[in-house]
Structure 1
Amino acid sequence: MLAFANTHADAGDRVERFADTEGLTTWLGEVAWGGAEPARTVADSDVVEARELRDALVTVLLSHSNDPATSDPAVRSAEAILERAGDRCPVAVRLSGAEARLGPGCGGVAGAFAGVLAAATELALSGQWARIKACRNEPCHFAFFDRSKNTSAGYCSTQCSSQASMRAYRARKKDALAGGTSKHTDNT
């Protein structure tokens, strides 16, 4: 699931993995979704659906990070997209003597999407869903597992945390300077 969420471009070295059918096909070939037959053909509509599902997932993960730029309506919209994807991409129960798990209920592209949804569901059922977050640093939004004791991490790395802190500091400084200038202008 993290591999799926981290297919978007950022300001660094990551490129958009779902830019076209070739990119999605390549990515699907790199990832194994237990039980799902690989996609033989990928359509343009699959690429659009992959980006929509991924972006909705990242929005929900940003809400786990308490991202101030992620609004409640955006989260509700993302949750609706995930729900519709769940209707289109069936998840199946896999039972054995040793374990119970969820997996794709079909093959192809829909099976890969079902694998993502199954992984998210298993995380939720295990109580770990809130620990799956997206970095609050605007250009990054890298999905990560929050290993902090109190589940308070909001950034994927100290570098992203520093960048966000510096950006906020500069904005406060700029606002203070603008506020000081306007006060001076009002008094003249």
Structure 2
Amino acid sequence: MAVETRDTGALVVDFVSTRAGAHAHEQFTDPAGTADWFTSAGLIPVGTPVSEADVWTVRELRDALSALLAAHLHPAKDTDTAPATAAIERIAAVHPLMPRLTPTGMVLVGTQSGMAGGIGTLLAHVATVAANPREWVRFKTCGNHTCHLGFRDNTRNGSGLYCGPGCAAQVNMRAYRKRNAAEPTGPAAQVNMRAYRKRNAAEPTGPAAQVNMRAYRKRNAAESAAESTDSA
């Protein structure tokens, strides 16, 4: 099966977005659900048999791919992606691909039929995106730990961390609450805060207060100079 079923990048994003999270439920729970997703993605014909072993293979591939895309969130960090890479390579070894010339150019195709062919075609989509390093690093999973959705980072400098503004707002709100929780609370803290505000309110402000403060500092400086002269 050739990689001509749908937009390659969109398929990769959709595949890693099948994990359970705040915005989605696990889609690969059984053979029927897995067959439905692969059929709707155009990877296998309707009625293709799917086994429990196929479900486990698909989930392992999805989780490994998700780990690689999560590492793209912080490329400067030394994230250990070796286990994820090894899992993908192990699955690819039993779902071989081959190049095929088409009227629009060369594409990768799976060499098998049935569900094995569908998994191979999916791997061909991944390989097509990963073949362009500058494009590959823009594919990520959401940095909001309750989300996990995949997305393509469309920011100019490739610094996007979240699948959308909703997840960004959730992360910022959690950070704000965490900072507030770290501040002292209780009766003693309230008394101290009231005393602090009272002192601030009692201190004069405005231009006149600034003039008085400058005069005060000038007198102190003159007195200090006089004391130094007397001591000498």
* TM-score in same-fold range (> 0.5): yes
Matching of residues 1-188 of structure 1 within 5 Å: 1-12=12-23, 14-33=24-43, 40-66=48-74, 72-73=79-80, 75-126=81-132, 127-177=134-184
The change in CA–CA distance for 1:177 and 1:104 in structure 2 (over 3 A counts) is: farther
Paired with 1:160 and 1:105, the residues of 2 have a C-alpha distance of: 40
Paired with 1:8 and 1:49, the residues of 2 have a C-alpha distance of: 14
Tell me what 1:185 maps to: none
Report how many aligned residue pairs link the two structures. Answer: 174
Q: Secondary structure at the match of 1:116?
A: helix
Q: What is the deviation of 1:37? A: 5.9
**1:35-84 deviation digits (Å, cap 9, x = unpaired):** x666721111111111111111111111111299x9723x2211111111
Paired with 1:112 and 1:39, the residues of 2 have a C-alpha distance of: 13
Tell me what 1:186 maps to: none
Q: What is the deviation of 1:177? A: 4.5
Q: What is the deviation of 1:173? A: 3.1
Paired with 2:69 and 2:35, the residues of 1 have a C-alpha distance of: 25
Contact preservation (8 Å) 2:39, 2:45: no
The change in CA–CA distance for 1:38 and 1:67 in structure 2 (over 3 A counts) is: farther
**What letter matches 1:96 in structure 2?**
T
The change in CA–CA distance for 1:176 and 1:84 in structure 2 (over 3 A counts) is: farther
TM-score for both structures, normalised by structure 2: 0.67
The change in CA–CA distance for 1:62 and 1:177 in structure 2 (over 3 A counts) is: farther
Gaps of 5+ in 1: 182-188
Q: What is the deviation of 1:96? A: 2.8
- Percent identity, please: 32
The change in CA–CA distance for 1:116 and 1:102 in structure 2 (over 3 A counts) is: same
Q: What is the deviation of 1:167? A: 1.6
Tell me what 1:184 maps to: none
Tell me which structure has the larger Cα radius of gyration: 2
**What letter matches 1:89 in structure 2?**
H
Paired with 1:130 and 1:155, the residues of 2 have a C-alpha distance of: 14
Contact preservation (8 Å) 1:134, 1:155: yes
Paired with 2:184 and 2:105, the residues of 1 have a C-alpha distance of: 61
Gaps of 5+ in 2: 1-11, 190-232
